[in-house]
Structure formats: C-alpha cells, structure tokens
C-alpha cells in the first residue's frame, strides 16, 4: 500500500527522447535507446521518469504537435517498444509519466483535418474558427479576429482560404488550439488519458494546461511599445472555466486510481492560482510548474535577457516555498527542454563549474517540494557554443530570430539573445562519454553535440566522488533517507543576505540547515540569532560538521564559517 502523497518524497527525471540515446543510428534518440540507459537512471536514484512526447507527430515543435495520441512516432519506435520500456521501468521500481499535450494538436491530426474540411463538418467546433475581423478581407494584415501574438512570434490566427475563416494557434501555425468549451473535445481527451493509464502509465505532465480555457469573447490584448501584436495572455491564461475543466478531468480520469502523479505546466500562474491547482481538497493536480524564477532574467522579452541581481533567484524560490507551505505543493526545477542550462544561466560555468552546479542543486533539492532533474543536469551539462543561425533547430528560436532581423535588429544582437536563452541549449545530445557524438549516436546527430563532452560526460563522472553526478546521487539519497527533506517545514534562516541562501527544515525531532553561497565571491554567512543558537559550533554541536558539502576535498567547516564561491554545506540534527 503506497501513501497517497508518495510523490512528495519522489524525484522525477525528465527524458527528452529526441536527445537522450539513439539506438538505430538515425541521429534521433528513441525508446530502445532509453532502455539501454536505465542503469544510469537507477544509479542516480530517481523514482519517476517524465517522458517528453513520443506520439506520432510531424515534429514542427519536436513532438509537442501531436497527430495521433495513441501511436508512437516511428522516429522513436513502436507501441511494442513503449510497452517494453514501461515494463522495464516498472521492474526497476520506476514510474513513467507521459507528456499530455491537449491545449492543441498537430494540424495533421485527423480531428483537425476533419474540422478544417468544411464549416458544416461535425468537428468544426473542436477548434477555434472565426471570420475575419469586421470590415476586413481574410488574409489581409490586421484581419485576424484578435490581435494576439503567438508564443512563437507572429499572429495567433491562420487564414484558411478553403473555408474562409481563421483558426487559432497560440503556438506554431501547425499547432491549432482545441476548443475545450466543446464537451466532445473534453470527452475525447479523457478517453485517451484513460487509455494510457489502462496501459500502465503512472501519470501525466500536462503541457500548458492553464491555457485551455479561453474567454469566449476573444477580446484584443494590449499592444506593448514596439510590438506589432497584442498580449492576449489575460484572455487565455488561467481562464474562466479552467478549474471546472480540471476537476471534471479528475473525476473522469483519475478518481478511483492510486499511485499516480500529475503535474500541470502553467506558464504565468500566480501563487494564488497555484494554491487552487494544488490544494489536495480540490482534486485537480498534485503540483504545477510555475514560471516566475525562469522569467526573472527576461528583459523586454525572453531573447533580450538581463543579468540577475545577487539574491533574486533565491528570493523567488523562497517566495514560492512560503506561498505553498501550508496548502498545495511545489515542483522544484531549474531546467527542462524549454530552458537554457542552469549552470550557464544561474551559475558560473567557466570559473566555478562544479561548485556552482552543485550549489544550485543543493539549494533546490533540499527545499520543500518534488524535485525534477532534466537530462544532463546531473552531469552539469552547459549551454552550447552555437554561433550562427544554422546551428539552431528550435521553432521558437528560429521564429524569434527571423522576427528580430526583419524588424531591423542587427544579426549579431539577435544571435546574442539565442546564445544565452535558446531552448536548443537544453536539447543538445546527452553526453554519455568522450567518444564521437558523446556516445549518443553512431549516425549524424539531429542537433550538434556540445564539444565539451570530452570532459563533461557520464562515463568520467560515475564513481568519481568529486563529480556532479555523485553529488546529485547523494542529494537524492538524502530525500529518500531523511523524512525531513520531503515532509519538513521550510524557513529562511539567513538574514536575507543577497549572496547567501540559508534555510532550515524541521520535521519532528529532525532538523536540517542548508547554507549556500550563490555568488563567485567569498562571503560570511549572517544568521538570525535564534538560528545561530540552535546550531552552535564546537564538538558535538549539530552545526559543527556538515553531513554534505560540495567543497573538494571535503573540508568540514562549521555552519557560520565563511563560504567560498558557490560553497554549499548541509547540517543535520535529531
């Protein structure tokens, strides 16, 4: 009998299948490749694997454009391969979570092919179709039904000459939005979800699930200075029927099943909304991916980034620790397939690569919430040295670059934004060893392997006590060994020092003190008086010798000793 909240002490590992391991030499990762690498995941100690989409897809957005929800794309393998992978994971005590992409489908999905065939087609209302704006000609600039800007640049409406209407796509033109107002759509989604659960999967990561409810009036959004299109976010983010739909989904799909884990991806979610999503009494989802901390360095836009001030990242994470402390639950992440590599983005990949990668990991993994490790993060994989636009593959990056250059931005400036923030930095092939293509493929990789795989790779790290991998393994083990990590309270313990984050976790008699220097400069930690009194230094005092530190060699310093650049230390009592 497993506890209903087992996922509070679980660690989830995200596999981006395209870039994880290729088994047939076509340069694209696949399911049989994942099977070859289960030892790595088991050794790391993760409990759940979240698999980015492997369904049939034209790959306009690397699988987040699904053309058949009940089949595996040939690039990744077959349903038989999937069943074999699932069984192999279950045999090792790992759970498998699928990526549920139901805000939109591919334009090649049978539902959309039918819907677009005629205005009278029974599936016409399964998507958002609207006539040109009053008094305009379809296809003309400004004739779109709303002025909204797509996440992938340009308008969110595509003119369909054949039936004389526009269809809505918040993302790529090949990703038409499903109309969740239509109960037939909702029932078809729930039926598909039950089909996967009946097949044995253990839950879902729900892609942009807080965008599925739109204000049916579809009003225009505000046009920000210099922008051509408006921000429709207020009309489709956390919309009017969102929680109604999620509670209906829970009743139709999850009620009566146990041992599952659900996480909603919710760009733009507020703290108050996150409580509504994750309050167990509301039976919606177990946790959400909020986006505040991964939006801090966005300047006027994602690809016009700004440097973070010391303490900004920690303060944002602490706000969410406190906000969901008593009701609801945090996911804990710094990376995924949409975010640049955290050691490059929030750490110091040049001067203090090992220390900053492990300091960020310490900060995150010992917080209150369920941690997510993105493939390669456990190795300290970094951003790639992309230098020309042909190095990139990601539709978001390519469209943003084209729009910047078309609007007069210098090529060098447009490339600069991509060099820091492109999603492709997270999608370079997993670095297994120092051989050609890092052991990822015997063919030509779909996206270039990072040249630093000669020194950053799994083979060189496994078994090395001073490696990023081994440090992650110890952090994950702590969560499994000490109940205080999963179930303890959270309280910030430093006196708000911008360079240092210190926090305490308490669970019954068990206590942890985590102290991390999040800068490349040495700092003395400053603690609230009552914290210093609790930990004390000197023989036998709990604050005297850390149970975990990222200094090499392991120099057991007391909790109030100065912290070297990116030094992290963990103390335990009780």
Closest approach, Cβ 381 to ligand TEU, in A, equals 18
Distance CA 238, CA 216 (A): 13
Per the CB < 8 A criterion, the answer to whether 442 and 21 are in contact is: no
Site for ligand TEU in 461-520 (CB under 6 A): none
Neighbours of 189 (CB within 10 A): 20
Distance CA 370, CA 382 (A): 23
Should residue 333 be labelled a site residue for ligand TEU when binding is judged by CB under 6 A?
A: no
Should residue 128 be labelled a site residue for ligand TEU when binding is judged by CB under 6 A?
A: no
Nearest to 472 by CA among 348, 375, 566: 375
Report the relative pairing of strands 165-168 and 157-160 from DSSP bridges: antiparallel
**Among 37, 40, 214, 302, which residue interacts with ligand TEU (rule: CB under 6 A)?**
302
Does residue 272 have an active-site annotation? Answer: no
Per the CB < 8 A criterion, the answer to whether 331 and 370 are in contact is: yes
Should residue 404 be labelled a site residue for ligand TEU when binding is judged by CB under 6 A?
A: no
Residue 275, both tokens: 């409580």
**Among 396, 404, 470, 504, which residue interacts with ligand TEU (rule: CB under 6 A)?**
396
Compute how many residues bind ligand TEU; rule: CB under 6 A.
14
Closest approach, Cβ 490 to ligand TEU, in A, equals 27
Distance CA 315, CA 293 (A): 9
Q: How far apart are the first and last CA of the chain?
A: 28
233 vs 310, which CB is nearer to ligand TEU?
A: 233
**Among 89, 193, 208, 373, which residue interacts with ligand TEU (rule: CB under 6 A)?**
208
Between the CA of residue 564 and those of 149, 352, 465, 523, what are the distances in Å?
Answer: 45, 11, 20, 7
Nearest to 382 by CA among 417, 352, 415: 352
Should residue 61 be labelled a site residue for ligand TEU when binding is judged by CB under 6 A?
A: yes
Q: Is 202 helix (H, G, I), strand (E, B) or coil?
A: coil
Should residue 236 be labelled a site residue for ligand TEU when binding is judged by CB under 6 A?
A: no
Residue 406, both tokens: 């078309």
Does residue 165 have an active-site annotation? Answer: no
Nearest to 291 by CA among 256, 334, 248, 260: 334
Closest approach, Cβ 184 to ligand TEU, in A, equals 22
**Among 127, 151, 166, 236, which residue interacts with ligand TEU (rule: CB under 6 A)?**
151
- Cis bond leading into 553, ω under 30°? yes
Closest approach, Cβ 242 to ligand TEU, in A, equals 15
Closest approach, Cβ 170 to ligand TEU, in A, equals 8
**Among 20, 166, 167, 171, which residue interacts with ligand TEU (rule: CB under 6 A)?**
171
Site for ligand TEU in 405-444 (CB under 6 A): 423
Nearest residue to ligand TEU, by Cβ distance, number only: 64
Closest approach, Cβ 104 to ligand TEU, in A, equals 7
Nearest to 472 by CA among 377, 339, 342, 389: 377
Residue 226, both tokens: 């210099």
The catalytically annotated residue of 65, 158, 265, 338 is 265
208 vs 493, which CB is nearer to ligand TEU?
A: 208
Closest approach, Cβ 224 to ligand TEU, in A, equals 16
Should residue 207 be labelled a site residue for ligand TEU when binding is judged by CB under 6 A?
A: yes
User: In the complex, which residues of this chain contact ligand TEU (CB under 6 A)?
Assistant: 61, 64, 101, 151, 171, 207-208, 265, 267, 302, 337-338, 396, 423
Residues designated as active site: 207, 265
């Amino acid at each position: 009998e497993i506890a209903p909240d087992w996922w509070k002490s679980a660690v989830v590992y995200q596999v981006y299948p395209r870039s994880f391991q290729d088994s047939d030499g076509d340069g694209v990762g696949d399911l049989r490749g994942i099977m070859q690498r289960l030892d790595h995941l088991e050794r790391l100690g993760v409990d759940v694997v979240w698999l980015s989409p492997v369904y049939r897809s034209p790959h306009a957005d690397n699988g987040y454009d699904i053309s058949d929800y009940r089949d595996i794309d040939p690039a990744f393998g077959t349903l038989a391969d999937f069943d074999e992978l699932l069984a192999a994971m279950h045999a090792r005590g790992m759970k498998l979570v699928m990526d549920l992409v139901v805000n939109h489908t591919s334009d090649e999905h049978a539902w959309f092919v039918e819907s677009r065939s005629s205005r009278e087609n029974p599936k016409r209302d399964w998507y958002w179709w609207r006539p040109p704006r009053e008094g305009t000609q379809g296809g003309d600039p400004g004739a779109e039904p709303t002025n909204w800007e797509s996440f992938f640049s340009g308008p969110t409406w595509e003119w369909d000459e054949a039936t004389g209407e526009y269809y809505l796509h918040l993302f790529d033109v090949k990703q038409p939005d499903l109309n969740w107002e239509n109960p037939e759509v909702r029932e078809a989604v729930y039926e598909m979800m039950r089909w996967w659960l009946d097949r044995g999967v253990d839950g879902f990561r729900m892609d942009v699930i807080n965008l599925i409810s739109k204000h049916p009036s579809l009003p225009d959004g505000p046009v920000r200075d210099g922008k051509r299109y408006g921000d429709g976010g207020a009309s489709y983010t956390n919309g009017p029927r969102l929680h109604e739909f999620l509670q209906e989904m829970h009743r139709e799909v999850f009620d009566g099943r146990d041992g599952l884990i659900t996480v909603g991806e919710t760009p733009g979610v507020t703290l108050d909304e996150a409580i509504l999503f994750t309050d167990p009494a509301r039976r919606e989802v177990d946790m959400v991916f909020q986006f505040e901390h991964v939006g801090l360095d966005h300047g006027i836009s994602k690809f016009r980034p700004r440097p973070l001030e010391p303490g900004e990242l920690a303060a944002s994470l602490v706000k969410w620790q406190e906000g969901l402390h008593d009701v609801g639950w945090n996911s804990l992440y710094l990376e995924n397939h949409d975010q640049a590599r955290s050691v490059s983005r929030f750490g110091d990949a040049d001067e203090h690569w090992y220390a900053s990668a492990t300091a960020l990991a310490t900060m995150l993994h010992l917080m209150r919430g369920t941690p997510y490790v993105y493939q390669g993060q456990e190795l300290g994989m970094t951003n790639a040295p992309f230098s020309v636009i042909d190095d990139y593959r990601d539709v978001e990056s390519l469209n943003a670059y084209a729009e910047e250059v078309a609007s007069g931005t210098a090529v060098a400036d447009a490339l600069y934004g991509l060099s820091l923030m492109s999603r492709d930095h997270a999608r370079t092939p997993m670095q297994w060893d120092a051989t050609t293509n890092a052991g990822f493929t015997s063919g030509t990789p779909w996206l270039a392997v990072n040249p630093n795989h000669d020194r950053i790779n799994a083979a060189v790290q496994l078994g090395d006590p001073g490696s990023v991998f081994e440090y992650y393994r110890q952090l994950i083990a702590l969560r499994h060994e000490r109940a205080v990590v999963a179930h303890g309270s959270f309280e910030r313990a430093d006196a708000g020092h911008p360079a240092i984050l210190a926090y305490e976790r308490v669970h019954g008699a068990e206590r942890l003190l985590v102290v991390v220097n999040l800068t490349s400069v040495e700092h003395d930690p400053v603690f609230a008086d009552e914290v210093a009194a609790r930990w004390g230094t000197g023989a036998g005092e709990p604050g005297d010798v850390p149970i975990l530190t990222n200094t090499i060699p392991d120099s057991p310093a007391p909790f109030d000793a100065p912290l070297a650049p990116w030094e992290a230390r963990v103390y335990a009592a009780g």
